[in-house]
Structure 1
């Protein structure tokens, strides 16, 4: 945006510049709406056979949308500053409905009870309520468990409550910290070295090797649950299978290699089945057919999958039908 010194002096040229700027804003807003519609359409198509290509298209479109929306936000602030350069920036944003399940924290602003004009007592007239979405940053804290002892003066018996059970005994890691590490690593794709860097900014030293050991311990603790989930999925008479490439950080050279994430879905709700749907994931370092053959070794029924050749051997004995 040109500064005041760069603007022309004649009104006609200024009007032309203004018309050009308004046209640019309208075009940008139209492009944003077009991208939103296209993204929504692709998301509805996401579960088709070409989901990997759709993922890439979605990523590209969402990046374009972010860039346009960022430019729109910067332009909003510049216009607000131009209207009232001496006051704070006030940008009129689209009204959005905030989720009703979130807790509300009221901050009440009361006017003075005495009229500043005549000194009379003021009476309540009403109120205006505005809401903004806030996020309270997660904080580290130390939870101290204090187990007090009691002694009987008559018989000398000493009583003390037992220590509450912990996922990892004699560890400094509270269950909440372990859950945050696992969710950050596997759901938000934040590797452990970045998590330790985030903690270091708050003055907390988390050793990367220690956090990695915690992850392994938690994985083993969750194994009965994942085994039960796998058994439930494979007990179905029909399952859906697919795989997707995922980048895996190769140790040592700071590069990535391509691994595979296999997904097996049990879901017959559209057939009026009342049994709950479930998904079981399995990782492999490559896409060899031995992996789905191992995963489905005990399965019998209908397998809905693509034409990947690695499934072919599964259909030979007739226990699994395409």
Structure 2
């Protein structure tokens, strides 16, 4: 689908270098934008029909059409902003309605600060002024920033002077940065569709329709994209990163069904070994869990990667300069599940032995990489070696088809790949950094669970 193709172009950074190829690529994108405009009109027609027959159609069907239309409009606005294309013809755009008089005004007058003409030194006289009204949102209420820019003319040479309009998020747009942030947080953090936000604003006497909000969101995402890219570069500049992914529901408009997409998280956190480098997480979306996606995301990365045993990472380790560090938290989790279900003594003992490794980590936290490595060699390595040997000894004593046997085989397969942390003080015992970042992303904003979060292709 259109939105998905644009997302993939952004992720892979596949812009051609050759001028002729670039022109063809741009023509392709322009054709995509035009075809999406046709789709938008089709969706609007379908939505109008559903509303006309709303008592015969399910509210869920109407909502899916609303969301599909909303995301198509955002995709067009984003690509228009990135390609610096002109906006739609005025006849096709929603009419800009005046801001109601009851919204409080805060007036700011901008002048150049000069009393004399910059050209000849003559005195300036005021001729008039230009007023730009910017609709802004501060927590709990709307305000209007009246930006007044007086025009002056020199009494001697008739030269004109006027203060420049401050930089704004959307050129020639009405929304202030606070209002844009409010709309974006409502949509992406609190999962509030734009058509619902439009209804909420209407209760405050603010008439902003959904297509206008979609245009704002699309242009805002294009504006914020360099920031996201900078976060990605910062994360991938680390000598060790953390990787994890989680499923998200993706609506496929027109099918009435959902598919399982993936959200990938890549983290950098060097605080455990005393580094002052700021921690960060970089998120990427894909419509499935194919190994090609992390391979594309990490195409330029060289270093260590903490990750679970996902098979899709194997080709990444074989074909690049990325070295694997397994996660002991994933190993421990399997034994915790078995102990809860069966009360297994072997599982309980395994959990206790792994806990000793974490006790060593607690003592080493905040020390330098050299000190951490020495501490691990002295205290953690004997525990690690003994645990591995003990698990080998337990395996022949139990049924090979039991869940416990599967957990032991998984542990024995992952522990050699976790062993590098013993020799390198900048490595960690698990991938909790990315797991916590995903948890905060889905549960910290608006109290939504992973299952309740939905992405639209």
Quote the offset at 1:286 in angstroms.
1.6
Quote the offset at 1:214 in angstroms.
1.5
User: Which position in structure 1 is the counterpart of 2:453?
Assistant: none
User: Which position in structure 2 is the counterpart of 1:161?
Assistant: 163
**SS state at 1:274 partner:** coil
- Where structure 1 has 5 or more consecutive residues not aligned to the other structure, the ranges are 1-135
**Greater relative contact order: 1 or 2 (C-alpha under 8 angstroms, separation 6 or more)?**
2
**SS state at 2:145 partner:** coil
Q: 1:137 to 1:239 in 2, by over 3 A?
A: closer
Q: 1:160 to 1:137 in 2, by over 3 A?
A: closer
User: Which position in structure 2 is the counterpart of 1:206?
Assistant: 208
Residue 271 of structure 1 is aligned with which of 270, 273, 294?
273
Counterpart Cα distance in 2 of 1:286 and 1:217: 27
Q: TM-score, normalization: structure 2? A: 0.39
User: Which position in structure 2 is the counterpart of 1:139?
Assistant: 141
**SS state at 2:147 partner:** coil
Counterpart Cα distance in 2 of 1:190 and 1:310: 34
Residue 250 of structure 2 is aligned with which of 234, 239, 248?
248
Residues 132-162 of structure 1: CA deviation (Å, up to 9, x unaligned): xxxx962223222121122222222222211
Alignment of 1:62-101 (within 5 A): none
Quote the offset at 1:166 in angstroms.
0.9
287-296 vs 136-145, which moves further: 136-145
Between Structure 1 and Structure 2, the one with more strand by share is 2
Residue 176 of structure 1 is aligned with which of 173, 178, 183?
178
- Structure 1 runs (4+) greater than 6 angstroms displaced: none
Between Structure 1 and Structure 2, the one with more helix by share is 2
Residue 320 of structure 1 is aligned with which of 322, 346, 350?
322
* Residue correspondences, number: 187
Q: 1:171 to 1:255 in 2, by over 3 A?
A: farther
**SS state at 1:245 partner:** strand
The Cα RMSD (Å) is: 2.0
Counterpart Cα distance in 2 of 1:194 and 1:257: 24
Counterpart Cα distance in 2 of 1:199 and 1:253: 31
Alignment of 1:1-322 (within 5 A): 138-252=140-254, 256-317=258-319, 319-322=321-324
Counterpart Cα distance in 2 of 1:140 and 1:249: 33
User: Which position in structure 2 is the counterpart of 1:68?
Assistant: none
Counterpart Cα distance in 2 of 1:240 and 1:229: 14
Quote the offset at 1:258 in angstroms.
2.7
Q: 1:150 to 1:298 in 2, by over 3 A?
A: same
Counterpart Cα distance in 2 of 1:171 and 1:191: 21
Q: 1:256 to 1:200 in 2, by over 3 A?
A: farther
Counterpart Cα distance in 1 of 2:139 and 2:228: 31
Counterpart Cα distance in 1 of 2:291 and 2:177: 38
- Where structure 2 has 5 or more consecutive residues not aligned to the other structure, the ranges are 1-137, 325-457
